[in-house]
Structure 1
Amino acid sequence: MLKMSMMAVIIAAAASAHAEEKTFDIVYQGLYSVDDHVFQPDKTLKVTLTVDDLDGNGDYSENEVKALKASHIDYKGSCTVEHCLEYFNWVRGSLPDYSAAYHSFDGFYNELTIVNPGVEYREFVQSNFGFRYDLTWHWTADTQTTITQISAVPEPSSYAMLGAGLASLALVARRRRKHNDM
């Protein structure tokens, strides 16, 4: 009876398991300033990205992005009036390909941030009072990209699988001890 119960627990834990959410810090360093017409080796853009490989294929698509934060952009799984992920694709062995935007207008200020890695990073602000700035940077062959995975917190299904595995080991050890005592 114990053996059947253990098998049921193992099967249930395996069935409920899927890849856990992963968070990455992506740092782009060295961008070309379109406004100043010069490559700025110290110009950096930090992006924090959280993904969940729902289909288990090791690649990430737009529906698997849970959050993306860069400059004013604070995307949280679905587009809002202000924060949107326009497209996203990250295939194993390559860099993430995406475009994300922030747009806000409060009646006085119009703000826009666009991040499109490999192409451009843009910060734009314009007021009804004549104030305006528009800064644009482009990626070049000298732009360095560093991707670091931040430790993920295991999901409950991971703990269930660990518990089932430990229980199985305890059962095997108990059976061996019982068999050796005879």
Structure 2
Amino acid sequence: MLKKICCTAVLASLAAGAQAQEHQYFNFFYTGFVNDGVFNPHVKYGGSFSGRDLNGDGVLTTNELTSMVALDIDYTRCTAGPNCTLDFSFDYKNGLSIAAHYYDDNAPHFETWSQRDFYTGDSVFRYAANRETIPFSRVDFFSPQTQQQILSAVPEPGTYAMMGLGMVALAAMYRRRKHGIHPGLAA
């Protein structure tokens, strides 16, 4: 019995350690925004993020991200500074918080420029211009009717390895019981 308890404790600690360091992937969607004072339930913005909870506190923060894509920009890949900033946090209790800003002026010729901002709970802003015109500009505001959806993507192979280890342990216990070997007497 003591051997069984020790094995269970070891498996549980391995699973907890793997979970804290496991790479996590998520997709997110927000549906329903206000534009020009009118709520449109069909406007939808989304993206994805991934990372590792390195400190094991259950919160994924900016410095733990490997990617955060919204509005076709991976905000973790662009250079930090006034043209690209990201403040991010996610946990199941408090939800998702994104403050992302991107600006590209096509320097040194300034032929075209664009800006994309995503501020959870506030607004989504997209802007594109060139020397002659502003071909695209739109701001959509979050409202109390905006719905959020966060989906966990497929786990990494390490998760499947942990599940496989658990299945092997269960199979061994089943085999012992099937052949009448008492777990306390097995070597």
TM-score by length of 1: 0.72
Aligned amino acid, residue 25 of structure 1: N
- Give the CA deviation at 1:120: 0.6
Partner of residue 26 from structure 2, selected from 18, 24, 34? 24
Q: Superposed, which structure 2 residues align to 1:50-61 within 5 Å?
A: 50-61=50-61
Q: Residue deviations 1:49-79, cap 9 Å, x none?
A: 1121111221111111111111231234x54
TM-score by length of 2: 0.71
Would the aligned equivalents of 2:85 and 2:101 in 1 still touch at CA under 8 Å?
A: yes
Farther off after superposition, 52-61 or 15-24: 15-24
**1:90 corresponding residue in structure 2:** 90
Farther off after superposition, 159-168 or 17-26: 159-168
Residue 81 of structure 2 is aligned to residue 75 of structure 1: no
CA distance in 1, matches of 2:167, 2:37: 59
- Give the CA deviation at 1:150: 1.0
- Give the CA deviation at 1:144: 0.5
Q: 1:110 to 1:14 in 2, by over 3 A?
A: same
Would the aligned equivalents of 2:30 and 2:147 in 1 still touch at CA under 8 Å?
A: yes
SS in 1 for 2:95: coil
Q: 1:180 to 1:26 in 2, by over 3 A?
A: closer
Q: Which has the higher contact order (CA 8 A, sep 6+)?
A: 1
- Give the CA deviation at 1:40: 1.1
Q: How many residues align?
A: 169
Q: Superposed, which structure 2 residues align to 1:109-148 within 5 Å?
A: 109-148=112-151
Structure 2 segments unaligned to the other structure (5+ residues): 1-6
- Give the CA deviation at 1:27: 0.7
Report the identity percentage.
21
Aligned amino acid, residue 80 of structure 1: T
Structure 1 segments unaligned to the other structure (5+ residues): 1-6
Aligned amino acid, residue 146 of structure 1: Q
Farther off after superposition, 43-52 or 93-102: 93-102
CA distance in 2, matches of 1:97, 1:116: 8
SS in 2 for 1:63: helix
Q: Residue deviations 1:126-179, cap 9 Å, x none?
A: 111233432101101000001111112223x87379559848986x96xx69x9
SS in 1 for 2:138: strand
